[in-house]
Structure 1
Amino acid sequence: MSEDFATCRLDRDAPRRRSRVAPKYRKTGYAEAFDDRTLWFDAIWDKGVVTLVCPRLNNLGSLVRTGTFTLDGRPAPMRLRTFYRHSLTRLKSPTLPQRVTFVAGNTQLETPVHEATPERFRGRNVIVTMSRNNDLVWIEDFARFHAQTQGAEGIVFVDNGSTDYEVGDLQRVLERAGLDALVLRTALTFGPRGRSPFGNTELFLQTCALNAVRLRYLQQARAVLCCDIDELVLSRTPASIFDATWQSRFGLTRFAGEWRYAPMPVEGDVVRHGDHGLRHLKKSACPAKWCVRPSGPLGDLQWRPHILEGFALNWAFRSSAFTYHHCRQITTGWKRDIALPEASRLVPTPTAREIAHGMRAAPRPRSALRPTGPVSVATTAVRRFGEVASRRFFGLRPALKAASLGLVAFIGLAAEEAIDNDPVSQEIAYLMQGFEN
């Protein structure tokens, strides 16, 4: 299977990534599903920097720090930043290089570098999802539902080694559903499931894929919705999820979901999203999903399936105006089993399509969403400066965020002192007294 990412894997005699999950929390088959060889998932050049999106390096971080990177043979200084499930290695390069090479001891590895191409999805409503061997009927239903009810215009579809069909088949059903489809392939393992509280700790692939496509294709999208093939997003107001996110001040909408079930189909039939007309009386809510405006104040944050990483206020952006139906029987067992709960615990409920039809959730024309009054050049400039400054701030390391806040507080205290002639030390004393009270 050919790959659409510039993926670099360590040789068999090279060092291996070690798991940071203790053996007692690993389920059967954990070691086989754990990715110990991928050094970086993709290499992307944009605005003078090559970013290597890596599965979390763990012990391989020392290998990367002591090794040498070159871009088309030129040495490239390296900066490394580690997140929960992935790491980013950044290399300065004023011009687009063709190749990135890494050397450490007897290890020498090389891949192409991809140039970021955000033009394709500029100003468009885009879904990003990952799938493996999901039925083409399910994929088409999923795409058509969001095109018709939420105004989705494009999709970045990451196929994780499907063997039941070809890329052309995926392209055809997605376009037939009304979406401009970019299908990308990777055959890397999805990752192992651990025992609580480490169930998802080392599921590297999806997080790497999300951030690679963010950097390569989606930085200029109007809004990006992250959801899976078994999830249908529903509005509880006339606004679509994309419109609400575009209009929100911070450009982020998060929303919880609900499990929905379908009767087991007759042998040979394919259960579909529209068959999910049952709900569990006591089933807890599904983890929140998100939609983000990449050009907004939070556009430089890292993407994970349920949160924006590095943002302490994810919880504050939960919206009751949206939900999603998590369709239990839309699965191949790729990520979970398909056993139904006891029938006595299931009660009839409207399907997602029925709810959407009742809401008349067809998206409003975009012209109706834009401000009708004139906006001054100064106002636009101030708004743009605020968004850029916010992007830079929220994208900083935690220590730099704290230092920045401290600097702003100090400047504020100094400015007030200049006005009222109180010493800065006295202002700090007042501030500390307030905290104590």
Structure 2
Amino acid sequence: MTEPVTLATCRVVPESGIVRQPPRPPELRNPAYADQFDWDTLFYDVYRVGRHIVFQGPPLLNLRGAIEDSKWFASRMTGLFPRAKLIERNRSSEYWVRDGDDRIVVESVLGCHDIAVQPNLSEPFAGRRVLHTLSRNNDIAWILDWVRFYVAVHGADAVLLYDNASTDYSSDDLRAALAQAFPDVTARVVDWPFRYGPQGGMAGAVDGREAPWDSDFCQTGSMQHARFRFLGQARSVLNVDIDELVLSDRGRSVFEATEQTPGGFLKFAGHWISATTAHGVAPGCGRHGDFWLLDAREQDTCPPKWCVVPAKTSRTRHCWSAHNLFGARRNRRISGEFAYRHMRGISKGWKEVRWDACDYEPDRFTPDIDLRSAFESAGMRAAACQISDDLTPARRASR
């Protein structure tokens, strides 16, 4: 079992009386906004990438001036050839500083931060096909099934999972389970104890008015952190959630296909798999292999996900995010070969109640044959699923 990863996290000290000012106008903040917003994280982590020290965190917004006025930063951001550069976007920021120090002190009105620069940890993932996600309280059995699918179907040989302060189990429990189930897979679990951030869209709506996606920093931050501290030398990286299973209509590995594209990037759409089964599953009790029925009445769409070759991305022009590789020319292209199955039955319902199970009606629900075949090849077909093979003779003849 691998050791926990140390983060050099910096926060605004409470006695400063200063906080990050929210980018969302007060009239668009719902009652949950204040509890969900990250008011005080300056840097999630401070770590080395080659000649640079990377100070990586949420967008600094009104906190930027205080950081750059500090003696340490000011001396590196002035002159004809500044040694420090800020790359800031609406949901993430990084200072890249050419410096060889292993320990630094940044003192400002935001506090005195004595920082041990953390090592780069990309070597274990060099040349690997990496499965990556951010997770909170997903059942460990679900996580193991998710890994099992991608190892068997796509040839994943590494997993990088960011645990967002799970309370149902410890990150050590998760590390131990991954090590026992997949001894030949490189696996790291990173404790990521930061506020996820207020939702946008209708999830963050006020009086029926959609909110902008401007305050959810945690997930983009975890991706940028994974990208630079762990995955710079990875062969390819797939970004999908625990409830998302990618398939090719040609039987190809998504990693291999991405590596063969000129831009090293594939983006693909998704569709929902119902929580309805022919054998009946109670909410929260199913496994991936239980669910493979398409609902003819499904109307919701799924935002795209992606796979990337890190070496073909630009650290200054591109940003990894949940559904996009921002700044990439190929970001607008959706693959016609790959699609992911979004499993309604694999969810804790943190964002919305997704459980849609109802009585099985053969005329309404049809098997996703490719998904069911993938479960069988991965050894994931739940025993209870076998009774769902007892479909009507007419349906068996139609397959």
Scaled by the length of structure 1, what TM-score is found? 0.74
Residue in 2 that maps onto 1:84: 90
Specify the SS of the correspondent of 2:226: helix
5 Å-filtered alignment, 1:231-380, equals 231-263=244-276, 270-280=285-295, 281-296=297-312, 298=314, 301-316=318-333, 318-340=334-356, 347-350=365-368, 353-356=371-374
Residues 27 and 259 of structure 1, relative CA distance in 2, 3 Å threshold: farther
Residue in 1 that maps onto 2:159: 155
Residue 122 (structure 1) aligned to one of 102, 119, 126: 126
2: CA distance, partners of 1:28 / 1:68: 39
Which has more radius of gyration? Answer: 1
* 98-107 or 335-344, larger mean C-alpha shift: 335-344
5 Å-filtered alignment, 1:14-25, equals 14=16, 15-25=18-28
5 Å-filtered alignment, 1:149-188, equals 149-175=153-179, 176-177=181-182, 179-188=185-194
Letter of the 2:290 partner, please give it: D
2: CA distance, partners of 1:267 / 1:357: 20
Residues 269 and 191 of structure 1, relative CA distance in 2, 3 Å threshold: closer
Are the equivalent residues in 2 in contact too, given 1:131–1:228 (CA < 8 A)? yes
Tell me by how many angstroms 1:336 deviates.
3.1
Are the equivalent residues in 2 in contact too, given 1:3–1:186 (CA < 8 A)? no
Residue in 1 that maps onto 2:211: 198
Letter of the 1:27 partner, please give it: N
Residue 237 (structure 2) aligned to one of 204, 215, 224: 224
Residue in 1 that maps onto 2:392: none
Specify the SS of the correspondent of 1:6: coil
Are the equivalent residues in 2 in contact too, given 1:10–1:109 (CA < 8 A)? no
Residue in 2 that maps onto 1:139: 143
Are the equivalent residues in 2 in contact too, given 1:275–1:351 (CA < 8 A)? no
2: CA distance, partners of 1:315 / 1:355: 30
Residue in 2 that maps onto 1:27: 30
Residues 105 and 162 of structure 1, relative CA distance in 2, 3 Å threshold: closer
Residue in 2 that maps onto 1:109: 113
2: CA distance, partners of 1:271 / 1:43: 40
Letter of the 1:330 partner, please give it: I
- The C-alpha deviation readout for 1:364-404, integer Å capped at 9, x for no partner, is xxxxxxxxxxxxxxxxxxxxxxxxxxxxxxxxxxxxxxxxx
1: CA distance, partners of 2:47 / 2:140: 30
Are the equivalent residues in 1 in contact too, given 2:196–2:217 (CA < 8 A)? yes
- The C-alpha deviation readout for 1:53-75, integer Å capped at 9, x for no partner, is 110112112222323336xxx95
Tell me by how many angstroms 1:216 deviates.
0.9
Are the equivalent residues in 1 in contact too, given 2:263–2:330 (CA < 8 A)? no
2: CA distance, partners of 1:91 / 1:276: 49
Letter of the 1:50 partner, please give it: I
1: CA distance, partners of 2:336 / 2:251: 13
Structure of greater relative contact order (alpha carbons < 8 Å, 6+ residues apart): 2
Are the equivalent residues in 1 in contact too, given 2:149–2:378 (CA < 8 A)? no
- Seq. identity, %: 32
- The C-alpha deviation readout for 1:154-183, integer Å capped at 9, x for no partner, is 011111111222233212332314632101
Residues 298 and 249 of structure 1, relative CA distance in 2, 3 Å threshold: farther
1: CA distance, partners of 2:323 / 2:338: 15
Are the equivalent residues in 2 in contact too, given 1:278–1:346 (CA < 8 A)? no
Residue in 1 that maps onto 2:383: none
Residues 174 and 75 of structure 1, relative CA distance in 2, 3 Å threshold: same
Tell me by how many angstroms 1:130 deviates.
0.9
Residues 352 and 273 of structure 1, relative CA distance in 2, 3 Å threshold: farther
Letter of the 1:186 partner, please give it: W
Residues 138 and 361 of structure 1, relative CA distance in 2, 3 Å threshold: closer
2: CA distance, partners of 1:100 / 1:226: 33
2: CA distance, partners of 1:185 / 1:114: 15
Tell me by how many angstroms 1:131 deviates.
0.8
Residues 239 and 198 of structure 1, relative CA distance in 2, 3 Å threshold: same
Cα RMSD over matched residues?
A: 2.7
Scaled by the length of structure 2, what TM-score is found? 0.81
Unaligned 5+ segments in structure 2 are: 78-83, 380-399
Letter of the 2:322 partner, please give it: P
- How many corresponding residue pairs? 354
